């Protein structure tokens, strides 16, 4: 216990992060929402959208087909519940996209973009690694491996699922050494998302929706 480091309030029941963890967190991506008090503007949602109808996965697909938006944003209940519900909705939507086979490829790419927006704004912890169970070698599995590699402090690297662990280690090994993890994430959000798209028809799904470009 390092009482001398205590600031205001009683945090005596919380373990203090180690210096290594503090250093890791200082260069890792941060949910934009948590940085807003430091003057960092929230990433403006482009793909995610709100509707009072709270569509299921099939309806999400239909709405997306006509608008280029993923209507996953939740409007009811406490904030933490809304966030958990949206993460679940996005995972379910991706699974529905898988059921559609090659015809669901553009939709899967769009859902992956919506997941990236959600994670950028809210943080990654709403998506457990079992979000990718039953996803043999999908782009979403590799995207989650990328997200986890950027966000999880190395001593906490414990993954039981072989395929996920292999994808995770592959990401980690290939990170450029001259950039912080936050820089890697920001670059990905700005113009790197096609890396985890399938582009089954030879072009990005966003190219067919002017308002979502």
Query: Given the rule CB under 5 A, which residues bind Zn ion?
Result: 194, 197, 204
The total of other beta-carbon atoms located within 10 Å of residue 150's CB is 21
CB of 52 to Zn ion, least distance (A): 30
In whole angstroms, how close is the CB of 76 to Zn ion at the nearest point? 32
Token pair recorded at residue 120 = 């950028």
Taking CA atoms, 106 is separated from 25, 27, 76, 102, 125, in Å, by 34, 33, 29, 9, 25
Q: Which is nearer to Zn ion, 126 or 143 (CB)?
A: 143
Residue 100 vs 165, nearer CB to Zn ion: 100
Taking the complex as a whole, how short is the minimal distance between the CB of residue 155 and Zn ion, in angstroms?
A: 35
Question: What is the distance of C-alpha 185 from the center of its chain?
Answer: 10
When the beta carbons of 31 and 97 are compared against Zn ion, the nearer one is 97
| Cβ distance to Zn ion smaller for residue 86 or 198 | 198
Paired tokens of 187 = 């670059």
Nearer to Zn ion, 58 or 208 (CB): 208
Contacts of 94 (CB under 8 A, 6+ apart): 108, 111, 112, 115, 135, 138, 140
Provide CB contacts within 8 A for 97, sequence distance 6+: 61, 104, 105, 107, 108, 111
Q: How far is the CB of 163 from Zn ion (least distance, A)?
A: 23
Minimum distance, C-beta of residue 203 to Zn ion, in the bound complex (Å): 8
Check the CA dihedral 25-140-207-52 and report its sign.
Answer: negative
Burial of 159 (0-12, 13-18, 19+ CB in 10 A): middle
Nearer to Zn ion, 69 or 197 (CB): 197
Nearest distance, CB of residue 112 and Zn ion, angstroms: 9
**Helix (H) or strand (E) segment spanning residue 50:** strand 48-50
């Amino acid at each position: 216990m390092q009482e001398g480091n205590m600031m205001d309030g009683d945090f005596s029941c919380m373990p203090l992060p180690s210096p290594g963890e503090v250093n890791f967190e200082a260069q890792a991506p941060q949910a934009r929402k948590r940085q807003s008090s430091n003057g960092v503007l929230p990433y403006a949602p482009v793909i995610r959208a709100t509707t009072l109808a709270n569509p299921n996965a099939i309806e999400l697909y239909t709405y997306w087909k006509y608008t280029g938006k993923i209507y996953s944003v939740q409007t009811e209940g406490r904030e933490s519940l809304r966030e958990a519900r949206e993460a679940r909705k996005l995972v379910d939507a991706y699974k529905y996209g898988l059921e559609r086979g090659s015809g669901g490829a553009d939709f899967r790419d769009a859902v992956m973009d919506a997941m990236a927006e959600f994670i950028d704004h809210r943080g990654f912890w709403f998506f457990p690694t079992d979000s990718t169970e039953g996803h043999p070698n999908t782009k979403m599995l590799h995207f989650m491996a990328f997200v986890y590699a950027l966000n999880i402090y190395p001593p906490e690297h414990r993954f039981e699922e072989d395929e996920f662990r292999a994808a995770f280690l592959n990401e980690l090994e290939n990170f450029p050494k001259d950039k912080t993890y936050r820089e890697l994430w920001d670059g990905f959000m700005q113009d790197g998302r096609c890396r985890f798209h399938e582009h089954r028809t030879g072009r990005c799904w966003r190219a067919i929706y002017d308002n979502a470009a």
